[in-house]
Amino acid sequence: ALVVLAGSRPAVAAERPLLLGGDVSLLPLCEDAGVTYTVAGKPGEALAILGGSGCNTFRVRLFVAPDPDGAACQDLAWVARLGARIKARHATFLLDLHYSDTWADPGRQETPRAWSGLAPDALAARVESYTAAVVDSLTAAGARPDIVQLGNEITPGLLWPAGRLDGSEAAWVRLAALLRAAGRGARRADADGGTPLLLVHLATGG
């Protein structure tokens, strides 16, 4: 996937070290199922093992109101617990906001059920307030995200039908309004903690 980092200063991305890691959203589910992780036959904690191999960044996805059964189950409490584990290891925590109750990808970008039917301005306001509330809650839980991913694989837009791209200029304007709202919400972080970088995530980057 192609990722673009946008910081408050043009040089902020260049000042950061190379980010190396992966998505660990399902780690607690695997651990609860009895999965163990080893190095040379010796068991260890998964994030520690990955960190010892040079990984410094871990992504965790968040759904608005997910079904607790299945793999798309990450709610705010789940993300707070896993995010705190990541921060305790002094790694970079990348929060992946799906802005959906389920998987968001090039084939589906379903608006959360609780947000359906909102007028464009009201939807943008909800995106902003939701994003701000998420960052605030995670910060209070000791899991302030270092990077906030505004949507997942949004090549065709997000929050369909409002933010769906159809080739028209008007569609791009609607999508930009939603992304700006998301960015404003993400940047309402505690000044002492600094504001997170914003990430735009596109599919089929190659």
What pLDDT, in 10s, does the model give residues 28-39?
999 999 999 999
- Find all residues with CB under 8 Å of 77, minimum gap 6, and list them: none
Residue 22: the pLDDT is: 96
**How are strands ordered across the β-sheet holding 2-6?**
2-6, 197-202, 147-150, 92-97, 57-62, 21-23
What is the model's pLDDT at position 4? 45
200 phi and psi, to 5 degrees? Answer: -105, 125
pLDDT of residue 14: 58
Residue 103 in this model has a pLDDT that exceeds 90: yes
Tell me what pLDDT residue 67 has: 94
What is the pLDDT confidence band of residue 9, given thresholds at 50, 70 and 90?
very low
Please give the average per-residue pLDDT across 1-21, as a whole number.
Answer: 60
Closest-CA residue to 21 (of 47, 55, 53, 45): 55
Percentage, residues of the chain above pLDDT 90: 86
pLDDT in tens, 143-173: 999 999 999 999 999 999 999 999 999 999 9
**Closest-CA residue to 83 (of 47, 50, 55):** 47
Poorest-pLDDT segment among 79-88, 137-146, 190-199: 190-199
Mean pLDDT of the region 86-114 = 97
Residue 8's pLDDT band, with cuts at 50, 70 and 90, is very low
Question: What pLDDT sits at residue 189?
Answer: 65
SS3 150: strand
Task: Name the pTM for this structure.
Answer: 0.90
Q: How confident is the model at residue 194 (pLDDT cuts 50, 70, 90)?
A: confident
- Look at residues 52, 53, 138 and name the one whose alpha carbon lies nearest to residue 94: 138
User: Which range among 45-54, 156-165, 166-175, 194-203 shows the weakest confidence by mean pLDDT?
Assistant: 194-203
Q: How far apart are CA 118 and CA 51, in angstroms?
A: 43
**Average pLDDT for residues 91-111, to the nearest whole number?**
97
Round to the nearest angstrom and report the end-to-end CA distance of the chain.
Answer: 7
CA atoms within 13 A on the CB side of 30: 11
pLDDT of residue 10: 45
